[in-house]
Structure 1
Amino acid sequence: MDMGLEGRKVLITGASQGIGEGLARSFAAEGCELFLVARSADKLAAVAAATQERHGVSVHTLPIDMTVPGALDAVMGFAEGADVLVNNAGNIPGGNLWDVDEVAWRQGWELKVFGYINLTRTMYAAMKRRGGGVILNNIGNGGENFDFNYIAGSTGNAALMAFTRALGGRSLDDRIRVVGVNPGPVDTDRIKKVLRSHAQRTLGDAARSAELLSAYPLGRPATVDEVAALFVYLASDRSAYTSGVIITVDGGLTSKRSV
C-alpha cells in the first residue's frame, strides 16, 4: 500500500539501533528524506549508509547526546523543517524503587521523558508556523502495565501517555497530529538483555532466557518491522483523523493482564 509519504522529511531520534533503525528503514522504503539523530556516530553512520544504499533516499545524520546543553538547538538547526517527528530516544533503567536511585532516575527521564517533551514543544511551534505536521511518540506498554521492577520506566511512560493525549486532544486545531505508540516486548538487543536479567532472577540462570518466551503471544516478541510499519501508517494521510490517542502493539499482553 502506498502511504503517500514520498519526499516528506522525517526526523527520528535514537535512530542508530533497535526500533529506531527499523523506523529509518521503513520510512526510507516510502521514499522519505531522513534526518537521523543518535549518540553513537559510528552506528548512525552505518544505518545511514545501509539505508541510502538500499532505498536511494537522502539521509542526514546528527550524532549528539540529546541531554547535553545546546543539544535541542542543534537538533532544530539540523531538522527544523521536518514534516514528521518520531520521538524514540530513551533508555530508562530497570529496577525497583531501591535499585534506581535519584541520579539514575533523573538521567533516564532527562532523555526520554523531558527529551520527548522539550523536542515536541519546539518542533510543534515550527510545524504550526508551516501549517501542520505529525508528532509520534514511541512510549512503551510499561505505562499501562505498572511494573514493580521497572518503576522508573512505568512511571515515565505513563507520564508520556498523558502528555500525548493532552497535547493531541487539541493539536488538530493547528493541523498537527500527536499520537503515541506503546510497543510491548520487541525483538531487539534490549529485550534480550531484559530477558537474561529476568531469567537470572526467576530461574537462577541467565542462559535460560528463551524459556520465558513461552509466556508471550505466539511465543515470541514483536518484530521491529511490525512496530515500524504502524508508525509509517500513523505518519501518513491515511491516518489523518488520528490524534491524542495511544495505540498498543503487544500481542494482547495488556488486555490479557486486565482480565
Structure 2
Amino acid sequence: MDLQLAGKTVLITGGSKGIGRATADVLAGEGCNLILVARGPAQLEETAVAIRGQRQVNVRTIPADLSSDEAVRKVAAEAGDIDILVNNAGAIPPGDLASIEDARWRQAWDLKVFGYISFCRAVYARMKARRSGVIVNVIGAAGEKFPTSYIAGAAGNASLMAFTRALGKGAPADGLRVVAINPGPVETDRLVMLRRAEAQQKLGDPERWRELTATMPFGRAATPHEIGNAVAFLASPLSAYTNATVLTIDGGG
C-alpha cells in the first residue's frame, strides 16, 4: 500500500533505537526524509548510516537532550520546516508513590511530558502557517490502565493523552492533525533488560525471560515495527480524517 508519504520530512525524537528507529525504518521505506533526534550521537549516526544504506532518502541527525524547553526550541529551529513530528523520546521509571522521589519524577516528566508539549509548541505555529502537518505522540498504555507500580508513567501518559485530544480538537481549523498511539509492552532493548532482570529474580535464569511474556495476547510483546507501521499510517493522507484520537496497540490485553 502506498501511504502517499514520499518526499515528506519527518522529525522523530528518540529516533536512534526501539520504536523510534523502527518508525524511521518504516517511513524511510515510504520515501520520507528523516531528521532523527536522540541524546547519543554515536547511536544516532549508526542508525542514520544503516537507513541510508537501505533507502535513497535524506537522513539528518541532531544529538540533543530534550528535557528543557530551550533545547527543544533549538532543535526545532535547526530542523526547519517539517511535515510530520513523531514525539517518542523519554522513558519514565517504574515504581509506586513511595519509591520514586520527587527529583526523579520531575526529571522523567521534563523529558517525556514537557518534552512532548514543548516540541508541539515549537512546530505547531510553523505547520499552521503552511496549513499542513501531522503530529503523532507515542505515549503508552499505562495512561489508561493506571498501574500502581508505574504511577509516574501512568499519570504522565494520561496527561499526554488529554493534551493530544485537546490540541487535536482545534487542529482541523489550522489545517493540521494531532494523534497518539498507546503501545502496550513492546520488545525494545529496555523491555528485554527489565524482563531479564525479572526472570533472574523469579526463575533464577535471565535467559528464560520470554516465559514471562507467555500470558500476553499472542504470547508475546509487540514488535517495534508493528508500532512504527501504525505511526506511518496515522501520519499519512490515507488517515486524513483521524484526529484527536489515541490508538491503543496492546494486543487486546
TM-score range, shorter chain: over 0.9
Partner of 1:252: 252
Q: Residues 105-140 of structure 1, C-alpha deviation per residue, up to 9 Å, x if partnerless?
A: 000000000000011012111100111200000001
- TM-score normalised by the chain length of structure 1: 0.94
Q: SS of 2:7's equivalent?
A: coil
Cα offset, 1:168, TM superposition: 0.8
Which residue identity lines up with residue 250 of structure 1 in the other structure? D
Contact 2:86 2:135 in 1 (8 A): yes
Q: Residues 73-112 of structure 1, C-alpha deviation per residue, up to 9 Å, x if partnerless?
A: 2211222300000000001111111111001100000000
Alignment CA distance shift 1:32-1:16 (3 Å): same
Structure 1 runs, 4 residues or longer, greater than 4 Å off: none
User: 2:205, 2:153 → 1: CA distance?
Assistant: 22
Which residue identity lines up with residue 252 of structure 1 in the other structure? G
Alignment of 1:75-154 (within 5 A): 75-154=75-154
Alignment CA distance shift 1:140-1:206 (3 Å): farther
Partner of 1:12: 12
Cα offset, 1:68, TM superposition: 4.5
Q: SS of 1:70's equivalent?
A: helix
The number of residue pairs the alignment matches comes to 252
Q: SS of 1:136's equivalent?
A: strand
Partner of 1:177: 177
User: 2:145, 2:70 → 1: CA distance?
Assistant: 35
Structure 2: runs of 5 or more not aligned: none
Cα offset, 1:211, TM superposition: 1.8
User: 2:229, 2:13 → 1: CA distance?
Assistant: 17
Which residue identity lines up with residue 114 of structure 1 in the other structure? F
Partner of 2:49: 49
Q: Residues 209-253 of structure 1, C-alpha deviation per residue, up to 9 Å, x if partnerless?
A: 222111111111111111100111111100000100100111001
- TM-score normalised by the chain length of structure 2: 0.96
Contact 2:68 2:111 in 1 (8 A): no
User: 1:69, 1:40 → 2: CA distance?
Assistant: 19
Cα offset, 1:26, TM superposition: 0.6
User: 1:220, 1:204 → 2: CA distance?
Assistant: 18
Contact 1:182 1:248 in 2 (8 A): yes
Q: CA RMSD in A?
A: 1.3
Which residue identity lines up with residue 9 of structure 1 in the other structure? T
Partner of 1:165: 165
Contact 1:198 1:206 in 2 (8 A): no
Partner of 1:205: 204
Contact 2:34 2:59 in 1 (8 A): yes
Q: Residues 16-68 of structure 1, C-alpha deviation per residue, up to 9 Å, x if partnerless?
A: 11001101111100111101100000000000001011001000110011125
Q: Which moved more, 1:235-244 or 1:68-77?
A: 68-77
Partner of 1:256: none
Contact 1:184 1:248 in 2 (8 A): yes
User: 2:199, 2:231 → 1: CA distance?
Assistant: 31
> Identity rate of aligned residues, in percent?
48
Which residue identity lines up with residue 204 of structure 2 in the other structure? D
Cα offset, 1:199, TM superposition: 3.7
Which residue identity lines up with residue 32 of structure 2 in the other structure? C
Q: Which moved more, 1:35-44 or 1:122-131?
A: 122-131
User: 1:119, 1:217 → 2: CA distance?
Assistant: 34
